[in-house]
Chains A and B, each alone.
Chain A
Amino acid sequence: MSQKVEVPEIGFIALLRYGWRQLTSMRTALILLLLLGIAAIPGSLIPQRITNPIAVRDFYINSPSEARWYDRFYLFDVYGSPWFSAIYILLFISLAGCVLPRSLEHYKAMRAQPPATPRNLSRLEYHQEFATESGALDRADAWLSKNRFRIRREGNSLSAEKGYLRETGNLLFHLSLILILVGVSFGALFGMRGEAIINVGERFINVPTTYDSLALGKLTNEKSLSPFEIKLDRFLAEYDPRTNQPLDYTAWVTIREDGKSEKKVLKVNKPLTFGSSRVYLQANGYSPVVTVRDSQGNVALQGPIPFLPQDGNLRSIGAIKVPDANPPVGFVGNFLPTNQRLEGQGSISIFPELLDPKLLFSIWKGDMGLDSGIPQSVYRLDTDTLEKVGLGSVKPGETYTYAEGSITLETVVPWVNLQVVKDPGKNYALLGGIVAVIGLLSSLYGRRRRIWIRETSTGVEVAGLSKNDAPGLETEINNFVKAVKEGR
C-alpha cells in the first residue's frame, strides 16, 4: 500500500527535477532567446495598440473579421500577450536557475585557493624548463603578486591564477538583465502615464479629471498623482521658411509645487521633473477661440476649441459643439493657419505658422446626442442624424451669420499636449543597463589564465593555461620567465 503511494511521488519529484534541469539547460535558454527574438517580429509588422491605436482602429474598420482573429491571438498587443510573456518569463527563470547557482559557485571559487600545480607540467601549453639561481619561487611569487595573480604555494611549486573578472562580468551581466526586468515591471505596476491638451493661458492641475487620457499601473491609484500645477504662459513654434520643417518648440510655463511658484521653460528633449513624475512637451496645434450666439444674440458658447493637426502645415480638423444653443448646433471645422486656395484642391494650408489663418466650417442642426452617455470624440461631429444648414468661413475678428445664429472667430491660440509620466522603476532599469555594459565588457575582454612554476633538480619548469583561447599568455609567460631568471 505504502509503496503504491510512494512510487508516483518519487516519479513526480523526479519529473520536476528533470523539468528544472531541462529548463535551466543552456540549450533551452538558447532556444528561448531565439524564440523571444522571433516572437517580437509580428509586433513590428502589425500595428500595435500601444504605439499606433489609430492604425488598429482602421484595421478593424477595413477588415473586421480578420481583425477579430488577430485579436484572439493578441496580435495587436504582442508585447503584453500571454505567449510573449510566457517566453520571457520562462527565459528569465531559466536564466536565474543558471546564473544564481553559478554566482554561488563563483563566489566560492574566488575565495578558494587556485588549484594545485599539475603533476606533469610538460603536457601543458608554453612549457619551458631552464636552470636558474636559487630563490626562483620567491622571485616568481614577487612578480605574480605584483601582477595581481592569486597564488598558492606548496612545497616546491607555485600555482597562480588571474582573470576572475571574466566570470564576474559574465554573471553581473546576466544578473543585470534580471534587474532591468524588475525595473520594467516595477514601472508598469506602480507608474502612470497621462496626456492633456492645454491652451495657452490655461492651467494644468495634476488630478485625474484634467487628463484627456490617463493610464494607471495595476498596483497604483489616483491618489498617487504628485500634486503640482502648470500654467502655460506662452508657446512658440519656429519653422524653417524654406522646408516648413519645425525647428524648435518652446513652452514658457509657471509651475506651482508645495505652495511655491516658479517660471520654467519646457522643450522637447527637456522635460520638467516633479519627483518621480516628468512632464513632456509632445505635440502642439491651434485652438480657434470662437463665440457662438443664437438668433437672439445670446452667447451660447465662448472659448478656445482645440483642433487636431492633419499635416506638416498644421491644417487641422475639429468640431465645435453647441448643445446649449436654441436649436442645438454643431460645426465641422477645418482650420488653416496659412490659408491658400488652390484650383481643384480647395483651401489648403501652405505654412504652419499663423500668417493668414482661416476657419472653414459646415453648420449642422439637431440633437448631437451629447447626453446619450455614449462617448464621442471631441474632434468629430457625427452628422448622421443632423441637418446641414450652411457652409461658411471666417478670419480672425470676422463673424458669420446664419439663420439660427452667428459664429465669431475671436482669435487663435496655440495648444500643447503635455504628457505626464511617472515611472518609479526606470532608475533600476538604467542601473541594470549600465551594469550590463560593464559586465559585458569585462566578460568579453577579460582573460582567465593560470601560470605554474615548479623547482626541479636541474632548475625550474614553467607552464601556463589560457581558459578562453585568449591571446597574450605567451608574452606574459615570457615576461614571467624573464623575471624569474633575472630577479626583476
Chain B
Amino acid sequence: MTEWAYISNNLVYAAMAVFALSFVAHAFETAFAVRTPESKEVTTGSKLVQTLDYKRTEKAARIATTLMGLGFVLLFGGVIARGISNQHVPWSNMYEFSITGALAFTGAYLAALRKYDLRWLGLFVSLAALLTLGTAVTLLYRDSGPLVPALNSTWLVIHVIAAIISGGVFLFANIVAGAYLYLERIESRGARPAWLQRVPSIEVLDQLSYRLVAFVFPLWTFSVIAGAIWAESAWGRYWGWDPKETWAFITWVAYAAYLHARVTVGWRGRRAAWLCIFAGSTFLFNYVYVNVWGTGKHTYSGL
C-alpha cells in the first residue's frame, strides 16, 4: 500500500470519528431543544438565528455544524489522497464510490446550510455519512489500485460523477418523501411533537421532493446516455441489457412515471411520495444488489 493510501485511510477514519461527534452534538441539540421552554422561538422560525450565543441549544447546534464541517474537510482530504494514491479519480469501486458519495452528500448539506436553516436535517445527515463510511471501511474496503483497462476513459469522470450526483439527490428526495409520509401520519392524529416543530410543513416537503426529482432527472438521463456512449467505445454496443443498464433504465422509467403522475395527472401527497420512494429504491437496489451480487459488466465493487 502506498503512503498516500495510508494517509487516505487515516483521514477517512478521522472523518468518521468527527462525524460521530457531530451526530452526538446534533442529538444533544435536538433533545435539549424540546425541554427548554425558550427554545421554541429558536426552533419554530425557519430563519437562521445568528446571535443567541447564551442559549445552550444554539451553542450545541454550532458545535454540531462545525464538527460536520471539520468532518467534511477531513473526508475531502481522504478522498483526494485516495485519488493521488490511485492516480485516477477515486470512484472505481464501491469503497471509493461510497466515500466520494458521503463527501458529496455532506458537502451538499453544508452548502445548503449557508442559505437555509436546515439544521434539523443535521442529525440524519451525520448519521447517514457515518453509516455510509462505516459500511465502506468494514464491508467494501479494497486496497488502492490501478484501473482496469475498460475503466480507463474520460467517461469515467463524466458518467460516474453524473451518477453520483443523481443518486445523492434521488436519495435525498426519498428522505424528504419519507419525512412527508411520517409527518402526514402524525399530523392526521394531532399536532406535531415539539422536536418536529422546525421541520417544514408537509406541503413544503411534498413540493421539495418533486423539485429535487425534477431538478436531477435530466442529469440522470444524461448519465445514462453518457454511459451508453462510453459502452459503445468500450464494449462495442451502446445498450446491451446488462443488469446495471437494465436497472438504470428501470429507475429512469420509474422517475419518468413519477414526473408524469405529478405534472400531468396531478398526483400529490401520499401517492406521489410512495411512487417517489419506489423509484428511489430501484436506484438503491441497482447500487447494492447489482454491484455486489449481480453479474455483468458493471460489477466493479471488487468484492
Contacts and interface: CB of A to CB of B under 8 A. Distances in A.
Say if A and B assemble together: yes
Interface of A: 26-27, 29-30, 33-34, 36-37, 40-41, 43-44, 47-48, 50-52, 55, 78-79, 184, 193, 240, 242-243, 245-249, 267-271, 278, 280, 282, 419, 421, 423, 426, 429-430, 433-434, 436-437, 440-441, 444, 468
Given A26-B260, A271-B236, A280-B236, A246 B253 contact: no
Contact of B241 (A50, A240, A419, A423): A50
A44 B246 contact: yes
Contacts of A433: 225, 228
Contact of A193 (B236, B242, B263): B236
Contacts of A78: 241
Contacts of B253: 33-34, 36-37, 40
Nearest to A34: B257
Contacts of B217: 440, 444
Contacts of A242: 145
Contacts of A33: 253, 256-257, 260
A423 B238 CA distance: 10
Contacts, number: 124
Interface residues of B, number: 49
A30 B260 contact: yes
Contacts of A29: 260
B86 to A, nearest CB: 12
Interface in B229-272: 229, 232-243, 246-247, 249-250, 253-254, 256-257, 259-261, 263-265
B210 to A, nearest CB: 10
Contact of B221 (A193, A248, A436): A436
Contacts of B282: 37
Contacts of B250: 37, 40-41, 44
B152 interface: yes
A152 B10 CA distance: 67
B201 interface: no
B143 interface: yes
B146 A37 contact: no
Contacts of B149: 246-249, 267-269
Q: Which 10 A-B pairs have the closest CB atoms?
A: A37-B253, A433-B225, A44-B246, A280-B236, A268-B149, A44-B243, A440-B218, A37-B250, A421-B236, A269-B153
Given A40-B253, A41-B246, 17 more contacts: A30-B265, A34-B254, A44-B294, A51-B242, A51-B296, A55-B295, A184-B239, A247-B149, A249-B149, A268-B149, A268-B152, A269-B153, A269-B234, A426-B232, A437-B222, A444-B214, A468-B263
A146 B148 CA distance: 55
A33 B278 CA distance: 14
B145 A43 contact: no
Contacts of A240: 145-146
A76 to B, nearest CB: 12
Contacts of A270: 233
B265 A44 contact: no
A468 B221 CA distance: 22
A245 B229 contact: no
Contacts of B236: 193, 271, 278, 280, 282, 419, 421
Contacts of B246: 40-41, 43-44
A83 B249 CA distance: 18
B53 to A, nearest CB: 35
* Chief secondary structure at chain B's binding surface: helix
B238 A268 contact: no
B145 A243 contact: yes
Nearest to A429: B238
Nearest to B2: A242
Contacts of A184: 239
A27 B265 contact: yes
Contacts of A50: 240-241
B288 interface: no
A426 B265 contact: no
B290 interface: yes
A441 B221 CA distance: 10
A271 B232 CA distance: 9
24 contacts: A33-B256, A40-B246, A40-B253, A41-B246, A41-B250, A44-B246, A44-B294, A51-B242, A52-B296, A78-B241, A193-B237, A243-B145, A245-B146, A246-B148, A247-B146, A248-B149, A249-B149, A267-B149, A269-B153, A282-B236, A421-B236, A430-B229, A436-B225, A437-B225
A184 B247 CA distance: 19
B148 A44 contact: no
Contact of A51 (B233, B241, B256): B241
Contacts of A247: 146-147, 149
A443 B250 CA distance: 22
Contacts of A434: 225
A269 B150 contact: yes
Contacts of A27: 265
Contacts of A421: 236-237
Contacts of A26: 260, 264-265
A441 B238 CA distance: 23
Nearest to B228: A433
Nearest to B152: A269
Contacts of B296: 51-52
Contacts of B261: 30
Contacts of B241: 40, 43-44, 48, 50-51, 78-79
